Chains A and B, each alone.
Chain A
């Protein structure tokens, strides 16, 4: 007769995960709940009064033309950032995966921008984009591609967003590359051997085997870049100041809270932004992510 042994309760997994739970509850869950609750309040710092405001903070956020303007800017940041960084990440990861001379050095250089703080990057790129004596103008001028120095930032809204986002792409592509590379390295070599035996060429192998099998890595890379581009703050702030041409939704939230001292509206806007970016991430997950088992 087979007797199933009683499963002994093991407390250690709970003990070990408890600090993490405390960390997440304290630094993520609790502030999120407080933000949500306070977003329904009208907090008047001048009269030191707090009144229930219903959904008026949400309504005034959505009806604020400067919020609408920065929301459109943010969508452009996301669109440019996610598309370009993901394509670059796939290209770089494939190159690194195949291997070449100097791979280690290339990898180290690739990771460098990721390690730099956003503000430091902003300062470096300020020097590059400077319309008086910047490196980009100087370089293009020396090649006789331009006849006078151009104003890369501030002059045109879309050009401003494009150049600011280039800086962020420079920063987020390394992490995306590492994520895609990790997926590539987990594909069994036997699959490629079988494809070669079946006469599959490079492109066919790439499209039919490699890309479908690295979808989990690509999905995570897209979500990572989506969250980062949606929350873009340092780069527009350092490169373009508080000018409306490049203002992002996070910059707008910062202004509402710290310049206008309108805390309820700021909380409502940041909560809306969090919901939005979460919904977009879930959408990407549902659309692209496929479980891969070998």
Chain B
């Protein structure tokens, strides 16, 4: 029996070393410079893996395969799972995809960790800027390095239910933050809606982005270009924004139960006519979710307004999704060909749902040409307001890209605002805790 135990132990140890060896061998996939052919059919026969949170747009992908000979294995994975997958696979130097979703918030982190191939060499900035606004590219650029490419035009917007505003006797839409606050109080006091404002107060990412937007509405930014906190003084925009949010919750402008609601649940509140406005929501809900008879009770009632800031129209923060090529990708040349195809205006418009809603995987195209194609085809609801916002006031959340430890910073932001709203800590304590997290970046 003793001998048997020894044999099993030895076998186990040998297997451990064997597996350990297998793990090490994957290090060879660390990657390097990509040499890419200009011939679109140079990589015919290769199969690339694309990781994204929407199902495969089959018609478009089959056209890509027909054109290039490159096959696509489309992996449909939840947003959270993609984030975990990137971290765990990159740490293990393991292959997990050739073209992968890169969220704007992790750009600073990926710049420092070098988990993605810089794309400048294959997509020169000047060439991209002919069809993609510089502000959009800036969201994916850190110190001149293009970490990934933005693929859509997600911009934060303010939604109002115009029917509720009219019922409360409001004839002119608010032009600044004070008017917006006064209008919400009027809707509340007139009995049209006892809790008119939808803010997702759950301790999750959407609470952080609401604060960034409100800080911009107060005329400031959260972090300096070298990622130092700009919100510690009570007279700073960030401090005032947090105070405004906490007061809105405590005064009952926001439904009490929103303390546990995320952004998707608040969109549902708008659609179900439980709230009359959402200060910060992603563009694209009008003509989509808010106007879909199976989801919404407020069809035709919701409209965009220029985001109300303390001195008039506030900036609309731009937080797009992007595609990057991981260092561990196997078919980098084919991946570059895929991205080149993806950025052609026709494909962008097709993937934003022009002519075929089954192919719709993008909120709005990142390509200006594609955006204009959709506006001309009347495919975007309230296009004039939206396009005007995009052209005049959209800017990235962080001017020099998100900080490297963005996830840690954002966690401090949303947990402390959540606690402050509940009265578990004061606004000042929340601000100090967030500042401490920012300083430790």
Contact = CB atoms under 8 A, between A and B. Distances in A.
| A-B interaction | yes
Interface string B10-33: 011001100110000000000000
A153 B257 CA distance: 9
Given A33-B16, A258-B83, A259-B408, A132 B257 contact: yes
Nearest to B416: A244
A25 B422 contact: no
B8 interface: yes
Contact of B113 (A29, A45, A131, A242): A45
B262 A261 contact: no
A48 interface: yes
Interface string A17-38: 0000110011001100110000
B419 interface: yes
A155 interface: yes
B131 to A, nearest CB: 33
A239 interface: yes
Interface residues of B, number: 40
A10 B392 CA distance: 81
B12 A261 contact: no
A21 B53 CA distance: 37
Contact of A239 (B260, B405, B418): B260
Contacts of A151: 256-257, 259
B114 interface: yes
A258 B414 CA distance: 16
B16 A30 contact: yes
Given A131-B260, A243-B203, A259 B11 contact: no
Contacts of A259: 407-408, 410-411
A131 B20 contact: no
B243 interface: no
Contacts of A129: 260
A239 B202 CA distance: 9
Nearest to B8: A21
A200 interface: no
B419 A149 contact: no
A263 B87 CA distance: 10
B283 to A, nearest CB: 24
Contacts of A244: 203, 415, 419
A126 B8 contact: no
B91 interface: yes
Nearest to A153: B260
A118 interface: no
B361 to A, nearest CB: 24
B120 interface: no
A45 B404 CA distance: 11
Given A22-B15, A243-B419, A261-B109, A30 B20 contact: yes
B274 interface: yes
A261 B109 CA distance: 10
Interface string A226-249: 000000000000011111110000
Contacts of B419: 243-244
Contact of A25 (B12, B274, B414): B12
B84 interface: yes
A240 B203 contact: yes
B262 A241 contact: yes
Contacts of A132: 255-258, 261, 269, 274
A149 B112 CA distance: 47
A45 B415 CA distance: 25
Contacts of A261: 87, 109, 113, 405, 407-408
B259 A154 contact: yes
Nearest to A126: B260
Given A29-B16, A259-B411, 8 more contacts: A25-B19, A154-B259, A155-B259, A241-B203, A241-B260, A243-B203, A244-B415, A261-B408
10 contacts: A22-B15, A131-B255, A132-B255, A133-B257, A240-B260, A242-B415, A243-B203, A243-B415, A243-B418, A261-B109
Minimum-distance CB pairs A-B, first 4: A131-B257, A132-B257, A241-B203, A243-B203
